[in-house]
Structure 1
Amino acid sequence: MFNYLPPLNDHNLPYPDTLHPIVVHFVIAMVLFAFLCDVIGYFTRNPRLYEVSWWNMLIATASIFVAIIFGQYEAGLAQPYEAVEPVLHLHTLIGWSLSGIIAGITGWRYVIRSRNPEQLPIPYLGLGLVLVAIVGVQVYLGDELVWVYGLHTVPVVEAVKEGILQ
């Protein structure tokens, strides 16, 4: 059965490079841009920016699940060594939590949009700020996995294969 799977490359992946960061940066950008549009729309009283924000959150909600799928797959192929495991587990936990948080906020936004698309309540903006903070922590953890622990980098993959890192 395993003969039908593609071979793993120097990054320990069946494709040229990691896909999780590509998809997840799309989600990060959409969430941050949605919040920015909400804040600017609130202070300028421009409801067209609320529409932009709504569509960004809707697409981010769908995209975060794609990011999680690639993240789980690539984390499984990373062969994490002992030092990286706590960070990887926390990153995974926050990632799954963010999928629910973003979906919940988008659902609340749908209700707000259905009732009055020209206004946003202050608590929604406050929750948006909390979401931006959580995304910031998640970005930090993801950067740490790549730039500090070197997951899916050729030297680390080789060190794990040779048994140097455990």
Structure 2
Amino acid sequence: MPDLHLNDHNLPYPDTIHPIIVHFVIAMIVFAVLCDLIAYFTGKRRLLEVSWWNMVVASVAIFFAIIFGQFEAALAQPYEAVKPVLQTHTLIGWSLSAIVVAMTAWRGILRLRNPLKISPVYLGVGVLLVGLVSYQVLLGARLVWVYGLHTVPVVEATRNGAAP
């Protein structure tokens, strides 16, 4: 790796960027599914348009979240205990990118067929998507709050060869 000037978080910039982008993506996906559900059960059809655009933006933004996640994971210098969680988080992240893009394409087809109607099957898969996103959030939280990736004490311990 080239000689980067890394700070006390082991990053070349002030703090992690991945969580900022990923929280944006999480909010957009959850909000899109919520809008679809509300539209389906209440008939407020304008929410279908809101949902559609949230999924479109989430489909693009998730790739930026993954790029920064991969970069920051490499800089974290993960120790042995964290590697299984980080590998699972990475695998689910890449899987989510494919799922979100597929869901957006499916949503686009439904929108072309009838912009004022949503499929109950799509809604069910959307709820499952929110469940998978929630599990991914749990894994990401463990990486920071349990394993301390990019926290000053863990970075110092890693640099001193005393990482757990």
One fold, TM greater than 0.5?
Answer: yes
Residue 123 of structure 1, aligned match among 113, 121, 124: 121
User: How far off is 1:6 after superposition?
Assistant: 4.2
User: How far off is 1:47 after superposition?
Assistant: 1.2
Q: Distance in 2 between matches of 1:97 and 1:6?
A: 30
User: Aligned runs of 1:33-48 on 2, under 5 Å?
Assistant: 33-48=31-46
Read off the aligned partner of 2:109 and give its amino acid letter: V
Q: Distance in 1 between matches of 2:119 and 2:111?
A: 11
SS state at 1:84 partner: helix
Moved over 6 A (4+): none
Query: Percent of counterpart pairs with the same letter?
Result: 65
Q: Distance in 2 between matches of 1:75 and 1:9?
A: 15
Read off the aligned partner of 1:89 and give its amino acid letter: Q
Residue 77 of structure 2, aligned match among 52, 76, 79: 79
Matched, 1:61 2:59: yes
User: Aligned runs of 1:13-162 on 2, under 5 Å?
Assistant: 13-162=11-160
Q: Distance in 2 between matches of 1:128 and 1:45?
A: 18
Q: Distance in 2 between matches of 1:16 and 1:46?
A: 43
Read off the aligned partner of 1:50 and give its amino acid letter: L
Read off the aligned partner of 2:81 and give its amino acid letter: A
**Structure 2: any 5+ residue segments left out of the alignment?**
none
Q: Give the alignment's Cα RMSD to 1 decimal.
A: 1.1
Which residue number in structure 2 is paired with residue 12 of structure 1? 10
**Structure 1: any 5+ residue segments left out of the alignment?**
none
The two structures have a TM-score, normalised by structure 1, of: 0.97
The two structures have a TM-score, normalised by structure 2, of: 0.98
Read off the aligned partner of 1:49 and give its amino acid letter: L
The size of the alignment, in residue pairs, is 164
